[in-house]
Amino acid sequence: MELKYGVLAGIACVVWRAFEFYMGWPDSELGQYSSYIGILMMATGAYLCVVETRKINQGIMTFGKAFYSAIVVCFIISIMMGAHAYVFNSTVDPQRKERMAQQFHNEMVKEKKSDIEIKQVEENARTYFSPMGQVTAESGGTMIAGLFVSLIIAVFTRSKKNASRPI
């Protein structure tokens, strides 16, 4: 069950993320808000998995089982998002790290920062926007969001023992 919903929600998140990149949103101010759609897709996949699992278990769903199902879905999504980040940043747009380093350089020059500070910010940008830096950020961010999503879903979807079912 978890694999099915993890892959389906993962595909939806990857398609959404590819659309974001196509539109240029991650490198703009709008990018800080567009990722919430991905979190909503992840939450939807995890929720549907937990609800279907509860239905299969005749209405019984403990907090632990709900959390487990939701976190596995989120883990699958985080792997898919990390793979997408690597492919995108290494093959589709390998110049992104240099573009971002230049953008940070220009901002630091406007702020009249020292050459040492500018150089350090450029190096940090190149590291963060490298393919592996983006894998770490994308997978890690997805898992952190997935942890909170899973906890919330587990709290609201758990159920007591079914009264109509014999003990």
Residue range 18-42, pLDDT digits in tens: 999 888 888 788 877 888 999 999 9
Q: Give the C-alpha separation, 49 to 46, whole Å.
A: 5
Domain ranges of the chain: 2-92+132-157
The single-letter code of the amino acid at 102 is Q
Q: Give the C-alpha separation, 111 to 108, whole Å.
A: 5
Average pLDDT for the chain: 93
Q: Give the C-alpha separation, 108 to 120, whole Å.
A: 11
Contact of 157 with 51, CB cutoff 8 Å = yes
For the cut 50, the answer to whether the pLDDT of residue 95 exceeds it is yes
- Note the Cα 125 to chain centre separation in Å: 20
CB atoms within 10 A of CB 82: 21
Output the pLDDT for position 167: 44
Rounded to two decimals, what is the model's pTM? Answer: 0.88
Locate tokens 């920062």: which residue?
113
More confident residue, 166 or 128: 128
Confidence of residue 163 (pLDDT cuts 50, 70, 90): very low
Residue 88 half-sphere exposure, CB side, CA atoms within 13 Å?
23
For residues 146-164, average pLDDT: 86
CA angle, 126 then 124 then 16, to 5°? 60
Q: Give the C-alpha separation, 21 to 17, whole Å.
A: 6
Q: Give the C-alpha separation, 130 to 98, whole Å.
A: 9
Helices (H), 24-130: 31-56, 63-87, 96-110, 115-128
